[in-house]
Amino acid sequence: MLLKTLLTAALFVIAAAPLDGQPIRQALFDLPEMDLHLHAGMEREVDLDSWLDLAVKDGRKVIVLLDHLELYRKSQRDYEAWRAQGKFQAFYPVGPAGHKALMDDFERAARRRDAVIFKGWEIYEGELDTGLEAAPMEMADLIGFHISPNHGRQAPDGRSLIRRARQAKEAQKRLPVPMVLFHPFPMRLENLQQTAKTQGRDPKTLTVADYRFFQPGEQQQLAELLRNSSIYLEISRATAGYFADPVCREALIADIKPLAEAGVQFVISTDNHGLKAAGMPFRPSLYCDPLGVTPLNTNAIVRELLALKAKRSLAR
């Protein structure tokens, strides 16, 4: 146990080498080696080991396993009907017993030698307004807030994301773990395209100005909030689908690249839920490179998670 702790601490020290000047390239995980948003709970279609085998075979070396926290608030009857309809292999109790069972499974998975594994929750952003459920959150290494497309309502934008970043910073005072704002940029595009269809408008008539996430000055505000913090922005694989559209691509680059240049840190993920998604190509460099998202500004969260794990090991 002591040897494992020392090795973990040593890994953190190496990975935490200063990233200005000449970083140690071997101490950085490449973009396709990281998936910090892999669903592995109630919606799992195969056993956990088989699910992880797929991810590792596809090149993943650092993984955050998580689930939607609100699923564990279903009644037992509703859960069983929902599980049968979805034909999910996984079975977890609802409520606190389910929280513990899931995290116990994730802890066992973390013993694998072929990947570095952490555990987390994805939580609906609205709970930052209504109140957070502290007990299950305290079991996690990472918390991600689900930024919703808000279909039928105002699409996510710079103003709303700045508000969520401030709320996450406040939540971190009570729960000092890395926090991520999940998929804000694709969710705006999804909302706008769906709204256009609902209104009988061809989404191809949407302009770069329509798609732009930020108003003047908002990128600077957000960067000042996030720079040198433990709050990260996710660049998920959903970005790839929108990047194929040159109008969306131009808007995404205009919104995200200045954040990267201002020192904001990011998270790379697949956001895979099931086997169909696991079979899709994961080539984050295709969209991350033009966005300014690189191993240099996506490894900070890995170093932080390793440090926290090492400190917890020492405490035991």
- Total count of domains within the chain: 2
Q: Is there a single domain that holds both residue 8 and residue 143?
A: no
Residue 123: which region, alpha, beta or left (left: phi > 0; alpha: psi -120 to 50)?
Answer: beta
Spatial neighbors of 91 by CB under 8 A, at least 6 apart, are: 83
Q: Which residue range(s) make up the domain with 313?
A: 1-23+299-316
**The amino acid at 185:** F
- Do 232 and 165 form a contact (C-beta atoms < 8 A)? no
What pLDDT sits at residue 10? Answer: 42
The sign of the dihedral angle between the CA atoms of 11, 14, 20, 23 is: negative
Class of residue 218 by CB neighbours under 10 A (exposed 0-12, middle 13-18, buried 19+) = middle
Which residue in 196, 223, 197, 200 sits closest to 211, CA to CA? Answer: 196
User: Given a cut of 90, is residue 189 above it in pLDDT?
Assistant: yes
- Do 61 and 33 form a contact (C-beta atoms < 8 A)? yes
The sign of the dihedral angle between the CA atoms of 151, 167, 140, 15 is: positive
Q: Is there a single domain that holds both residue 164 and residue 307?
A: no
List, for residues 105-151, the tens digit of each pLDDT value.
999 999 999 999 999 999 999 999 999 999 999 999 999 999 999 89
Q: Is there a single domain that holds both residue 115 and residue 185?
A: yes
Find tokens 């601490």 and name the residue. Answer: 9
Q: Is there a single domain that holds both residue 13 and residue 105?
A: no
- Look at residue 298 and give its three-state secondary structure: coil
Phi and psi torsions of 71, nearest 5°: -60, -30
User: Given a cut of 60, is residue 304 above it in pLDDT?
Assistant: yes
Q: Is there a single domain that holds both residue 255 and residue 152?
A: yes
Q: Is there a single domain that holds both residue 157 and residue 172?
A: yes
Q: Is there a single domain that holds both residue 159 and residue 307?
A: no
What pLDDT sits at residue 80? Answer: 95
User: Given a cut of 50, is residue 27 above it in pLDDT?
Assistant: yes
Rg from Cα positions in the chain: 19
Q: Which of 15-29, 119-133, 255-269 has the lowest mean pLDDT?
A: 15-29
Q: Is there a single domain that holds both residue 260 and residue 160?
A: yes
CATH number at residue 94: 3.20.20.140
What pLDDT sits at residue 313? Answer: 85
Give whole-number Cα distances, 1 to 4, 5, 188, 314, in Å: 5, 6, 46, 10
What pLDDT sits at residue 20? Answer: 53
Q: Is there a single domain that holds both residue 3 and residue 76?
A: no
**What's the pTM value of the predicted model, to 2 decimals?**
0.91
Q: Is there a single domain that holds both residue 107 and residue 209?
A: yes
Q: Is there a single domain that holds both residue 292 and residue 316?
A: no
Which residue in 290, 240, 229, 238 sits closest to 265, CA to CA? Answer: 229
Q: Is there a single domain that holds both residue 5 and residue 51?
A: no
Record the tokens describing residue 177, joined without a space. 């773990």
List, for residues 216-239, the tens digit of each pLDDT value.
999 999 999 999 999 999 999 999
The proportion of the chain whose per-residue pLDDT surpasses 90, expressed as a percent, equals 89
